[in-house]
Chain A
Amino acid sequence: MSNNSSNNSSNNSNNKVIVRIHFMRGDEVKFISHLDIMRTFGRAMRRTGIPVAYSQGFNPQPVIVFGLPLAVGVTSLAEYADIELTEAINPTALKNALNKELPAGLRILDAAFINDRKNIMSLVYMASYEIFVYVEKNEIINKGEVIIDKMNENKDEIIYKIKKLLRKDMITVVKEGKKGTKEINIKPLIVDLEIKFMDDLNVIKEKNDNRKIYKITAMLRAGGEANLKPDLLISAINKHTDLSLKIIRIHRTGLFINKDGVLEKPM
């Protein structure tokens, strides 16, 4: 379960037994960081007693390579990981055994042997998300653009503004990286984006909600080569429009790999 092992070799050599798992991450565990999820899987594997391969060094860890880290607060239906075993175990048996040892909120949906040359992390190319955002009513009134009973026009206006922004060639945003901050153009990283006004939605638990909710469905570049996180997309929209969208929740719906130029699901 380490980044290191994947960095050392992004190749799955042929004689290794690799099981790829597809799992979901629910609300119960959405506040657990990626690193902590990795450790949780490592310990769950130890509990199953399934012969997992261990990394070298002082602190041997089960070799589990995860597809794409998920930010804190985000749920997902499309998490993937490659588990290296020391002997072949029926993937369905592995799935059942691991599901018994995983805490609520983490669930293996599918497991299968793979013989890809490369591990999941190095193959990830794109991810799709549902991003729920809201705009507060009074905020719009303050801007003097609309009045409260003309919500139809209002919601159109928001959609219009975002669509207009997306027609530009350059959408720059300041990204904080390991070597300080730099300005990048995220336009090429937005593969597809749809925005819809949600008039009847029960994501929100409070009554008398004073918010208008929109659902953004986005396909974004992901992986080591080029990566756009959904929260950065929203702050880019806020930066380049006079909107002030606030995120309610983010849900990853799909992960796609680039296999010799062809985009496909990891399994």
Chain B
Amino acid sequence: MSVFIDDDILMQVEKPARYTGNEWNMVKKDPKSKEISIRFAFCFPDIYEIGMSHLGMRILYHLINERNDTYCERVFAPWTDMEEIMRQKGIPLFALETKDPISDFDFIGFTLQYEMSYTNVLNMLDLAGIPIRSKDRTEQHPFVCAGGPCACNPEPLADIIDFFVIGEAEEVINEILDVYKRWKTGESDGITRENTGVKEENESIDDETNTTVKNGQTKGKSRESFLRMIAKIEGVYVPSFYEVKYNDDGTIKSIQPKSNEFPAKIRKKIIKDLDQAYYPEKMIVPYINIVHDRIILEIFRGCTRGCRFCQAGFIYRPVREKKPEKLVHLAEKLQQSTGYEEISLASLSTSDYTGLKELTEDLINNMSEKRVSLSLPSLRVDSFSLSLMEKAQSVRKSGLTFAPEAGTQRLRDVINKGVTEEDLLESVRIAFEGGWSTVKLYFMIGLPTETLDDIAGISELGEKVVSAYMATPKEKRGKGLNVTISTSCFVPKPFTPFQWESQDSIETLREKQKYLKGLIKSKYIRYNWHDPEISFLEAVFARGDRRTGEVLIRAWEKGCKFDSWGDSFDFSKWMEAFKECQVDPHFYANRKRNYDEVFPWEHIDIGVTKKFLQRENEKAYRGELTDNCRVKCNYCGATVFGGGVCYE
């Protein structure tokens, strides 16, 4: 039975179309039909406008719905106004397509894009009426799974999520659903056998699991039997089958499977050949404006650059491109099926796409008569890209973004950002001569080895950009120079060369921000900075272990949710939660690790080796650069996947 949302309710909330669905290209199926045996709720732990912009969700939604036996529906976090009414009236969390409560579904799948969405995961489960902790769920509940970049350190959510998909889900998800179907239909004979096996194992495995088994009777057992079946699929991680032991100093001693039937290391799954991989020819066209309200064309995965702070640069390796002709064909199809007026190329670094010239020429030729513009994010600014942008009609010479990341050459070398000051100033000069006059400069503060000289370098670079504008002939340059310097706070992430590093304390970060603010004198420069408190929490949960999961639950119980939305962020509640759970956040955020420390994510294998990351860490301290993969192989370990740039 679907839930009934009264008009009255929708009239009271902001943007009611967040909850009404029925958008163009929404997949409609009859869940009561005999064909549909699996119902999948794809959950994005943030509001509609953010979730609908996410490419992974767009791909997986249509991919899962290609199956005749499965209906995949979308679920987003209701904004606080809607949540309040839902809780008041006892309306459970429902899926947009059918408005059915998701507690009756077979799977609840979350995508984890940023750590600060974790409380929303808990809140959505609770709103759906599903127990927060994995061990409290019985056969009547759906399986709760998660994937996405944050799943590369799944441990903070280990007690909450039943299983994780590590890496790219396009193939794994189908394997899981196939197994599920077998498990669900083979209940009469196959499962009995499984059950006996499980029961014996249970006694030796885990006391906690045993309790659940007793409570849920036979049901609890069969739930585990399914997890047991999928734990053998490459890329699937079932945290309850692994045991973590700790040292006296609080660091991890070991992470081991509870039975040798499970792999000691869980290797991420990748799609070897993106041209052969599924990509939807339809995309949902929302009624309301979303963040990325356009066709998204994924041109490649991974990045060859290896900036040492950047997690995406390592976890998506190896780089795999799609062929331009394939992309042009897809663009055509997507344009016809959506009617969108804009196409955006998606990748970690558009300029590094080897077929960029061919692709953009073809796209511009095909799309201009249809009045479809092309937007080119993450493009390095040079004369080629500027003329491209003018042709693509995607920018009103208003803003260009540069990301030098650090203020001095020394520090840029430490982080392996292969950009020199001269590169940057040359790009800026070309942009000013081309009529641009608004420039954004992105930096990080708190990077390893940073000194106040590096901070001063940020301000000096800003001044040099202003001088470059002044040196541009008046008749060429645009009016009204506007330089924005933005600094974020560095967050050390797993699977990067900086995974051993400590984060600057909140106080230090604040002092550095203040110092920089004092140095910026030019009236043309505006300075924006991020709150270090949020970055501090990100640092805790990015490298958190299972013990931090209790803190998440406690913080959520105290009312924390939508933490990435400034107005609902309450740092004091978080600090209370740490205190009450007797977890020291500084242990995770502000502690420098030894090279031989066992990480909470030690059992996750993303291909890139710990040895390589250590070499990169050592090189960082020597200020040595590492070449782009296309120039030379640096033996990071990603060759194990047998595809991509490693074999070109």
Contacts and interface: CB of A to CB of B under 8 A. Distances in A.
B22 A29 contact: yes
Interface string A27-50: 011011100110110111111010
Contacts of A61: 341
B287 A40 contact: yes
Contact of A47 (B23, B337, B393): B337
Nearest to B293: A39
A42 B370 CA distance: 12
B396 A58 contact: yes
Interface in A1-60: 28-29, 31-33, 36-37, 39-40, 42-47, 49, 54, 58-60
B371 A103 contact: no
B338 A32 contact: no
A28 B22 contact: yes
B621 interface: no
B371 A43 contact: no
Interface in B334-391: 335-341, 370-371
Contacts of A58: 393, 396
B347 to A, nearest CB: 24
Contacts of A110: none
Contacts of B338: 43, 47
Interface of A: 28-29, 31-33, 36-37, 39-40, 42-47, 49, 54, 58-61, 72-73, 101, 103-105, 205, 248-249
Across chains A and B, which 3 residue pairs bring their CB atoms closest together, nearest first?
A43-B339, A46-B339, A47-B339
B444 interface: no
B371 A54 contact: yes
Given A47-B336, A103-B24, 10 more contacts: A29-B287, A36-B17, A40-B24, A43-B338, A44-B24, A46-B340, A60-B341, A73-B10, A73-B16, A249-B7
Nearest to A31: B16
Contacts, number: 65
B597 to A, nearest CB: 52
Nearest to B25: A103
Given A44-B339, A73-B10, A31 B23 contact: no
A46 B7 contact: no
Contacts of A36: 17, 287-289
Given A32-B17, A36-B287, A73-B11, A101 B341 contact: no
Given A43-B338, A43-B340, A46-B370, A72 B22 contact: no
Contacts of A205: 4
14 contacts: A29-B287, A31-B17, A36-B287, A36-B288, A43-B341, A46-B335, A46-B339, A46-B340, A46-B341, A47-B337, A54-B371, A73-B7, A248-B7, A249-B7
B371 A72 contact: no
Nearest to B19: A31
Nearest to B398: A58
Nearest to B338: A43
Nearest to A27: B7
B285 interface: yes
Contacts of B396: 58
Nearest to A52: B371
Contact of A31 (B10, B336, B340, B371): B10
Contacts of A29: 22, 287
Contacts of B336: 47, 49
B20 interface: yes
Contacts of A248: 7
A45 B339 contact: yes
A103 B17 contact: no
Contact of A43 (B7, B10, B17, B285): B285
A113 B7 CA distance: 37
Nearest to A47: B339
A101 B340 CA distance: 13
Contacts of A73: 7, 10-11, 16
Interface string B392-428: 0100100000000000000000000000000000000
A33 B340 CA distance: 19
Contacts of B289: 36
Nearest to B286: A36
Nearest to B21: A28
Nearest to B285: A43
Contacts of B288: 32-33, 36
Most buried by A among B336, B337, B339: B339
A130 to B, nearest CB: 15
A47 B25 CA distance: 12
Contact of B22 (A42, A45, A59, A104): A104
B24 to A, nearest CB: 5
A43 B10 CA distance: 25
A104 B25 CA distance: 11
A29 B393 CA distance: 32
Nearest to A54: B371
B243 to A, nearest CB: 50
Contacts of A72: 11, 16
A108 to B, nearest CB: 16
Given A31-B17, A32-B17, A36-B287, A103 B340 contact: no
Nearest to B20: A31
A206 B337 CA distance: 39
A216 B480 CA distance: 56
A45 to B, nearest CB: 7
Contacts of B340: 43, 46
A73 B4 CA distance: 16
Interface in B101-151: none
Contacts of A45: 339
A82 B340 CA distance: 21
A97 B55 CA distance: 30
B258 to A, nearest CB: 50
Nearest to A57: B396
Interface in B216-242: none
A40 B23 CA distance: 10
Contact of A103 (B16, B22, B341, B393): B22
A44 B17 CA distance: 18
Contacts of A37: 287
Nearest to B393: A58
A249 B4 CA distance: 17
A49 B4 CA distance: 38
A98 to B, nearest CB: 11
A59 B11 CA distance: 32
Interface string B308-352: 000000000000000000000000000111111100000000000
A38 to B, nearest CB: 11
Nearest to B24: A103
A29 B24 CA distance: 11
Most buried by B among A37, A39, A54: A39
Contacts of B20: 28, 31
A105 B22 contact: yes
Contacts of A59: 341
A49 B287 CA distance: 20
Nearest to A37: B287
Contacts of B10: 31, 73
B122 to A, nearest CB: 29
Contacts of A60: 341, 371
Nearest to A249: B7
Nearest to B23: A103
A58 B392 CA distance: 11
